[in-house]
A and B are shown apart, each in its own frame.
Chain A
Amino acid sequence: MIDKLWFLIPELILFAGVVVVAILGLVHSNRLRGWVPWTTGLFIVAAGISVPLVYTAEAMETSGLLVPGLAAPAGMIACIVALGLLLLSIGRVDQRYELAIAQGRAVFDPIRATGGEFHVFFLLSLAGLLLVSIANDLIWLFLALELASLPTYVMVAMSRGSIRAQEAAMKYFFLGAMSAAMFLYGFALLYGATGTLVLTEIQASFADQIARGELGILAIVGMLLALLGIGFKLAAVPMHLYAADVYEGASVHVTAFLGFVPKAAGVIAFMILLSTLGWADGAGLPAPILIMLWVVSVLTMTLGNIAALLQKSVKRMLACSSIAHSGYLLIGIIAGPGAGFNAAMLYLLIYGLGNTTSFAVLSSLQRGGVELESVEDLAGLRHKHPWSATAMAISAGSLLGFPPLLGFWGKLALFIAGIASGRLVLVLIAAINSAISAWYYLRLVGLPLMADRNERSEAVESIHAPWPRLVGLVLAGMLVVLPVILGLLYWMTDVSR
C-alpha cells in the first residue's frame, strides 16, 4: 500500500491543487481570485516535475504494471500540454462575469462564479489521465477513465449563458454514460473470461488460453465492447458522432481541452487493454481484434477528414479533424509496443501541441465579444494580427504534417512504425487521408495569411488577456524550432559521421 501511495505522488499533488484552487476560487478579493490560474499552473508544473522523479525506470520495473513504460511519458506529455491548455483559457473562463466585476457592474457572488470550478475540474480530469497510465486492474482503469471524463462534461456545461453549450453538455453526458456502460460491460465479460481483475493476471490467463488454442468468444466480445466503449474517449468510429456537436457547442478553451485530455486517456487505455491480449511472446494481436482495429482506424480517419471538408465553423472543422487524428493514432497502437507505441505517444504530444496552438489563436480572438464562428472570420487576419495569423498557419501546417514542422515528424514516425509492422495498406490510406486533410488545413493557412478581409473579419479583435495569444506564439515557435533543434542535436552527437 505504501509503495502504491508513493506511486500516486503526481496525482496527489494535483488533488492538493484541487483543494487549494477550489477555496481560492471562492475568495471575494479580485486580486486573490486572479491567482487561480497561476496556482493551478503551479500545481501542474509540480506534478509534471514529480513525474520523472517518481516514475523512474527502476521504480517501474518493480511496479507490477502491465505496461510500465507508459506512466512517465504519459504524465509528462499530459502536464506539458495541460500547461498550454491552461494558459489559453486565461481571460476566457467566466469571461463576462469577471469583466463585470472588474468594471464594478456586478458584485462577486460565489454561487454564480465558475472560475474556481473550471480549474478544479481541469485538475481532476488531468489527474484522471495520469491515473489511467498507472492502472493495474480493470476497476482502477474504469474509475480513472471516468475521472478523466466526468469533469469534462461539467466543463462543457459551465458556459451557462450559452444554450448550445447546454445542449452539447447534455449530448456529451448521455452518450458518455452509454459508452461507459458499454466498456464496463466489456470489462465484466473480460472478468468472466479470465476470472480476475488484475491486468497482469488477465494477460497471463489470455496467454495460457491462446497457447491452448481456446481463446473464448467471451474474451473477444468483452475486448470488443471495452475497446468500442473507450473509443468514445478517442472519438473513434462509430463512437465519434458526439464530437462535432460537442466541440462546437463548448467554449473554445473547453473544446481545446476536450480535443486532448480524453483522447490521451483513451489512447493510453487502448495500449493497456490491448497489451493484455496481444504481443505476448512475440506474437501480434489476435486476427479479429486486429481487423477490428484496422477497420476502426480506417473509418475514423476517413470519416473524420471527409466530415471536416464540409464544415464552415472553425471549431467544428477542428473537431472533425481531431477525429481523423485518432485514426492516425490507432496506426501506432496497431503497430504494437516498441516503435508503434513510441510513435503513438510522440504523435499524441505533437498533436496536442498543434491542437493547443490553433485553439490558442482562436481563444485569443473575438468578434463583438463572442468567439469566432466561421472559418471566414479568419480571412485576412494578417492585417491586424500578423503574429496570430502566422501562428494559426503554422499550427495548421503542423497538424497537416507539412515538413519541416513538428507534425511532419510525428506523422513520419507513425507511418514508419506502421510500415515496419507490415501495415502498408493502412499507412497508404492514412497518407491519402493526409492529402484530403490538406484541403481544409490549407484554408487555415491561406485565409489568415493570403485572403483579404471581409466585413465579418473586419470586426475581429483580440481579447483583453494577452496569454492565449502568447501561448499560441510560443507553441507555434516550438513547432518550427523543435525539429531544427532536434536535428542539430542529432547532428552534433552523431558518432557515425
Chain B
Amino acid sequence: MIDVTLQLARIVQAMPPVPASEVLHVSGQWWIGFILWCPLISLVLCGLCAACRVKSKLPAWITVFSLAISFVLTLLLAFMDTPPERVELFKWINVHWDGGSFVANFAFYIDSLTILWMSFVTGLGALIALYASEYMEPDVGRGYARFFAGISAFLFAMICLVMGDNLLMLYLGWEGVGFASYWLIGYYYQKPEAVAAAKKAFIVNRIGDLGLALAIYLIWSTFGTIQYNELITVLDAGTYLPVYENWSVQAIPYLLMLAAFGKSAQLPLYVWLPDAMEGPTPVSALIHAATMVTAGVYLIARMYPFFLLAPESLHVVAWVGGLTALLAATIGMAQYDIKRIFAYSTISQLGYMFLGLGVLTTYGAAYHVFTHAFFKAVLFLTCGAIMHGFAGQLDLRKISGLRRMKGWRIVSWTMFIGCLCLAGFPLTSGYFSKDAILAEAFVSQGPGFEVLGWMAIFTAFLTAYYTFRVWCRVCAGEVRCEPGDEHHGDDHDAGTHGGEFHPHAPRFAINIVLLLIAAGALLAAVPYFMGNEVEHVAGGWVADMVHDSTAAEGVPGHPEHPASALHGAEAHHGSILGMDPHVAMYWISACVGGLGLLLAFWLHLWRRQDADRLRSWLLSRFWTRWLPVAMENKWYVDEVYHAFIRAPLWLFGHIFYAIDRYIIDGLFVDGTARLPRLLARCFQPLQNGMLQSYAVTMAGGAVLIALLMLLMLQFFTGGAVS
C-alpha cells in the first residue's frame, strides 16, 4: 500500500550521483582533527552538565583539559614543520556538474599563518579558561556550565575559522564566533545593558558578515572555487588571467574589508566593541581582545593575493586602520572605566594591525596580533581580578595603591608588564611589533602614508599615556578603595565587616594564569631575535612564518614584495628625517613611549591634582572646552549613528510594520482567511438541527446533482442517449 510514498522517496533520492572529487595532496595525521573536535566534545559535555545542573567546577575542568589538548596538538603540528598541507576530516559539500563545481569539504588548510594563529588561540584559550574557573566561581551551579559551553563553542568556531580549508568553513567559523560572542556578552542576561550590548555586537557584525558572504559569492563566481589551495594556485601562477578585468576582482577586496572591519571593530563599525565589555571579563580577554577580533586581520592576511590585485584597496585599509587607531586612542584617554579604556585600546591596536596590512607588512600585522594577544589578555585579566575583588568596581578614580594591598602584588606587577608592552616601552614585545608596522609606513609608498606614519607615532604617544594613566591611578599612589555595587555570592558579604570593605585577593588559578600570560607577553619579544632561515627576510621567526603562507607578499624582503615590484627598487626604502626608517623608528618610538609614560606618571601619580587642574583649565576656555567633553563622550559617534542610521531605520521599520499589519496582514491574509468562515456562515442555516429540514435538503441535494448529471449527459452525448 505504501508504494506510492516509496515512489516519491525514490524520486527524492535520485539526485545526480556525486563523482569522486579529485583530492589534492591530502596528508596529515589522524590526530589533527582532534584540535577541532576537542572543543566540540567539551561543548557537548558542558551542555550535558548544564542540563544535569552540575553543582561543581566540572565544566571548567572539562573545558581547560580539552583546550589544553588542542593546544598540545597545535604545538605538535607546529614542530612537525610541514609545508602547507590539506587535511580532510570528512566530505561536506561536493557538487559537480558540467563545467563547474562547488566543493567545500570539512578540511584544514595548514600553513604557517594557521599555526601562528592557532598557537595563541588555543594556548590563551586554555589559560583563560583556567582563569575563568576561579573568576566565575560565584556562578557555580547556575550559569557556570553555560559559560564554559560558550567558551568551548567559541573555540570550536574560531578553530574552524582559522584552520578551514575553504571560505565556506571560514564563514561557518566567522558566524560561529559571532554567535558565541553574542552568547557570552549576553551572559548576564538579567542585566538590560548586557542584553543590549549583545544585540548591538551581533547586529553590527551582521553588516560585516554581509560583506563576507558577498565576497564569497563573488570569489566563487569569478574563480569557480572557494578552496584556498586552488585559489592560491590560480593567483600565484603570476600569469595574467582574463578574469582580472572583471569588476568583481576590484569589488572582492572591499567586501572582504567590510567583513574584517566589522569583526575587528574598525571605523565605521567599531561601536560594538566597547559595549561588549558587559560580558564577563575572561570573555573580554579571550574573545574581545586576544582572538576573535583579530579574525579580520587573519581574513585580510589569508586573502592577501586578492588585495594585491586591487592595490588601492590596501590604501583604504591603511587609512582606516590609522584613523581608527588615533580616534580610539583619544577616546581611551578620557574614559574612567578601566575595562572601557582597554577596549578602546584594543580598537586602537587593531587599527595598527590594519595599518600594517595596508602598508604592505603582513609580517608586522601578524607579529602585532601575536604580541597584542598576550599583553592585552594580561591587561584584561588583571582588570577582571580587580573587578572580582572589588565587587565590580572599575572606576579608576575609586581605587588607588593596589600594589601596596595584601595579595595584590602579582596583579599590579603583571599589569605593569602588560602596560609596558602596550605602551611600546623599549625592548618589550609591543615595542618590536609596533615598530615593524610604523617603520613600514614610511618605507611603503602610498597616498599620504608619511602623514599616516606620523599620526601613528602620535597615537603611540597617546597609547603610552593612557596605559600608564590606568596603572598609576589604580596600582600606585595612596591606598584607597571604594567597592562596586555587585555582590555576587556570599563570599563578598562575608568580606564586608560592619560596613568596612575588604577586597578579596585573587587566589591560585588567577595568579598563575596572570604570571604565565605575562611571561608570554615578555617572551613574545624573543621571536624577533630568532634568526631567519628564509633568505632576504628580516624580522625573526614570525616573518619566516608569514613568509611561508598566503600572505607572503606582505613580508619585507620577499622577492615579490610589491613595494619593489610596483615602484622600482630605488623607491623601496623611504626615509624618516633622512635616516633609515627601521633604525630611526627604534629611537622615535622609544622617545614617544617614554614621553607618554612620563606624562602619565606626572599627571596621575606624582601630582594628581595637576590632572584635575588641566581638565578644568581646558573646560574654562571657550576654544578648548569641546575637547575633553567630546572625548569623554566618545566623539558622540553612538549618538550620530543613532540619529542618522538607527532613527531612519526605526522609522522605516514602523512604516513597513504598519503596511504589513494593516494592508498585507489585515486586508490580504486575514481577508483570505475570513473567506472560508464567511462561506461557512452562508451554509450554516442548512445545519439547523431539524430532521425534516435535513431530509429535504438531502433529497434536494440529490435531485440537484441528478439534474447536473443529466445536463452533463446531454452535453457529452449530444442527447443521443435514450
Contacts and interface: CB of A to CB of B under 8 A. Distances in A.
A241 B686 contact: yes
A150 interface: no
A214 B721 contact: yes
Contact of A175 (B4, B6, B695, B708): B695
B705 interface: yes
A415 to B, nearest CB: 9
Residue from B9, B691, B716 having most chain A Cβ neighbours under 10 A: B691
Interface in A110-164: none
A23 interface: no
Nearest to A486: B2
23 contacts: A175-B695, A175-B698, A182-B702, A215-B721, A221-B706, A238-B704, A239-B698, A242-B694, A245-B687, A289-B709, A291-B708, A291-B712, A292-B712, A306-B679, A309-B676, A309-B680, A310-B677, A310-B680, A310-B684, A409-B5, A412-B8, A413-B5, A416-B4
A277 interface: no
B447 interface: no
B695 A178 contact: yes
A46 interface: no
Given A220-B709, A242-B694, A310-B680, A288 B716 contact: yes
Given A224-B706, A287-B712, A237 B701 contact: yes
Contact of B687 (A239, A244, A289): A244
A489 to B, nearest CB: 10
Contacts of A339: 4
Given A288-B716, A310-B681, A494-B13, 10 more contacts: A171-B691, A179-B698, A220-B713, A228-B705, A238-B705, A239-B702, A288-B712, A292-B708, A295-B705, A439-B673
A412 B5 contact: yes
Interface string A326-354: 00000000000001001101100100000
A122 to B, nearest CB: 25
Contacts of B683: 303, 306-307
A179 B700 CA distance: 13
Interface string B668-703: 000001001101110110110101001101111110
B687 A307 contact: yes
Given A221-B706, A490-B6, A309 B677 contact: yes
B3 to A, nearest CB: 7
Interface string A291-304: 11001100000110
A244 B694 CA distance: 12
Interface of A: 73, 170-171, 174-175, 178-179, 182, 214-217, 220-221, 224-225, 228, 232, 237-239, 241-242, 244-245, 287-289, 291-292, 295-296, 302-303, 305-307, 309-310, 339, 342-343, 345-346, 349, 409, 412-413, 416-417, 436, 439, 486-487, 490, 494, 496-497
Contacts of B713: 217, 220, 288
Given A241-B698, A343-B4, A412-B4, A216 B705 contact: no
A266 to B, nearest CB: 15
B28 to A, nearest CB: 30
B191 interface: no
B7 interface: yes
Contacts of B29: none
B52 interface: no
- Grouping DSSP codes into helix (H, G, I), strand (E, B) and loop, the B interface class, with mixed when no group exceeds half, is helix
B1 A73 contact: yes
Interface string B2-25: 111111111001000000000000
A11 B492 CA distance: 81
B722 interface: yes
A494 B10 CA distance: 9
A414 to B, nearest CB: 8
Contacts of B716: 287-288
Contact of A217 (B676, B705, B721): B721
Contacts of A416: 4-5, 7-8
A245 B677 CA distance: 19
Given A346-B1, A416-B4, A241 B702 contact: no
B612 to A, nearest CB: 59
Given A306-B683, A307-B683, A292 B721 contact: no
Contacts of A436: 676
A313 to B, nearest CB: 13
A98 B701 CA distance: 44
Interface of B: 1-10, 13, 673, 676-677, 679-681, 683-684, 686-687, 689, 691, 694-695, 697-702, 704-706, 708-710, 712-713, 716, 721-722
A219 to B, nearest CB: 10
Contacts of A497: 13
Contacts of A287: 712, 716
Contacts of A174: 691, 695
Contacts of B689: 245
Contacts of B9: 487, 490
Contacts of A496: 10, 13
Nearest to B682: A306
B677 A216 contact: no
Nearest to A227: B705
Nearest to A339: B4
Contact of A224 (B7, B677, B687, B709): B709
Nearest to B691: A171
- Which 10 pairs between the two chains have the least Cβ-Cβ distance? A238-B701, A306-B680, A413-B4, A241-B694, A306-B676, A288-B712, A346-B1, A288-B709, A287-B716, A409-B5
Contacts of A245: 687, 689
A257 to B, nearest CB: 21
Given A245-B689, A303-B683, A417 B709 contact: no
Contacts of B679: 302, 306
Contact of A342 (B1, B702, B712): B1
Nearest to B686: A241
Given A217-B722, A288-B716, A306-B677, A175 B704 contact: no
Contacts of B698: 175, 178-179, 232, 238-239, 241
Contacts of B697: 238, 241
Contacts of A412: 4-5, 8
Given A305-B676, A346-B1, A241 B687 contact: yes
B7 to A, nearest CB: 7
A342 B680 contact: no
A388 B629 CA distance: 65
Nearest to A221: B706
A199 B589 CA distance: 106
Nearest to A287: B716
A354 to B, nearest CB: 16
Contacts of A182: 702
Nearest to B1: A346
A342 B676 contact: no
Nearest to B683: A303
A221 B703 CA distance: 11
A495 B417 CA distance: 69
B677 A417 contact: no
B111 to A, nearest CB: 39
Contacts of B695: 174-175, 178
B206 to A, nearest CB: 30
Contacts of B709: 220, 224, 288-289, 291-292
A339 B4 CA distance: 7
A232 B697 CA distance: 13
A487 B13 CA distance: 12
Contacts of B700: 238
Contact of A238 (B1, B4, B684, B702): B702
B681 A170 contact: no
A236 B3 CA distance: 28
Contacts of B673: 439
Contacts of A170: 691
A225 B681 contact: no
A286 B721 CA distance: 13
Contacts of B704: 238
A408 to B, nearest CB: 9
